[in-house]
Amino acid sequence: MELHVRYEGDDDPKKCSARKLARFDLAELHRATRSTPPGIVCNPFAEQALSPADAVGSGARHDRLVALDCSWETAEREAFDLQGVHRSLPFLVAGNPVNYGTPFQLNTVEAFAGALCILGERAHAEDILAKFSWGHTFLELNEEPLERYADCADSTEVVAVQDDYLVED
């Protein structure tokens, strides 16, 4: 699956996971919305959760994932005006040093890795995370939910699994 990033460039370049993916030819950066190809857009504001039903081969048309790389401080609904099928990632926690343990605050490589695992491309997720010293931590922290999400049939089931992690006793 191709990985494409609409790159804003407003984060510290030394900590930018999208730039590092591009350096290793694991993702393509796009400086403008127009030049960003359509795909499955990882959008935290999307109304529908990503599920295995979005995987190519299950009737889905897109063989690429698209993410917006910007600072969480500047991330707004309007910034995700990208072509494609917009999907939100379910509950996952960050494993990166900046947002470690924070739910839903993933950096770009974590968003891609989480999406790839849900779409049944775990080996691809491991490959991109291997470029980061903390990459294995993301998979370790999210092992159970990622496996459960990947076993779901559709978005409704993914949201039901997510509720197991969000509902307080």
Sequence ranges of the binding site for S-adenosyl-L-methionine: 17, 68, 89, 108
Pairing of strands 64-69, 2-7: parallel
Edge-to-edge order in the sheet of strand 64-69: 28-30, 2-7, 64-69, 39-42, 84-87
Angle, helices 122-129 vs 108-118, to 10°: value is 160
Angle (deg, nearest 10), helices 155-166 and 143-150: 150
Q: Which residues contact 120 (CB under 8 A, 6 or more apart)?
A: 52, 55, 150
Beta-bridged to residue 40, according to DSSP, are: 65, 85
Which of 7, 45, 18 minimizes the C-alpha distance to 112? 18
